[in-house]
Amino acid sequence: LEADGVIFNFGWDPAGDHQTVTQPQDSLRAVQAALERLRVKGRMSLVFYPHADGRREADLILDWLKTLDHRQYPCEKVELINSGRSPFCVLIERRK
């Protein structure tokens, strides 16, 4: 099964239990699996939140993304530079 687009929103459900959160290793495996299924010219967005658990999760996934070939998977980070409490987004496109 191939995908044209994938969206991840990490962390917790704002209207739910904040003790139930996404786990960094599970999230990384999910991103890796989704990237393998992304079609050429397909896009993926990853939304991260600045709380402590979210920062650890973001750091793990960002470190892995940095190992990807930028010619095949260019990755862009979009964030507000004048707010430390805002979520940020990573955008990925599969080119090859």
Confidence tier at 93 by pLDDT (50, 70, 90): very high
Which residue pairs, CB below 8 angstroms and at least 24 apart, start in 56-61?
56/24, 57/10, 57/11, 57/22, 57/23, 57/24, 57/27, 58/10, 58/88, 60/24, 60/25, 60/27, 60/28, 61/24, 61/27, 61/28, 61/31, 61/90
Q: What is the DSSP letter of 69?
A: -
How many angstroms separate the most distant Cα atoms in the chain?
40
Per-residue pLDDT, 94 = 97
Average pLDDT over residues 48-56: 82
Give the residue extent of every domain in the chain. Answer: 41-96
Tell whether the model's pLDDT for residue 1 goes beyond 90. no
- Across 70-92, average pLDDT: 93
Residues 19-58: b if buried by 16+ CB within 10 A, e if exposed: eebbebeebbebbeebbeebeeebebebbbbeeebbeebb
pLDDT, average across residues 48-60: 86
| Average pLDDT over the chain, rounded to an integer | 92
Check pLDDT > 90 for residue 37: yes
Name the more confident of 65 and 83: 65
pLDDT value of residue 75? 97
Question: What pLDDT sits at residue 84?
Answer: 76
